Structure 1
Amino acid sequence: MAAPLRRGKGLRLAVGALGFVLTRSAFVARKPNYDRPNWFGVGLAFSTTAALWVLLFKQHNEDVTEYERRQKERHHKCTGCS
Structure 2
Amino acid sequence: INSAHYDRAAPWLATAGSGDVLAGFIAGLLARGFAPMQAAETAAWLHVECARKFGPGLIAEDLPEQLPAVFRDLGL
Smaller-chain TM-score bracket: under 0.3
Q: Which structure has the higher relative contact order (CA within 8 Å, separation 6+)? A: 2
TM-score for the superposition, normalised by structure 1: 0.26
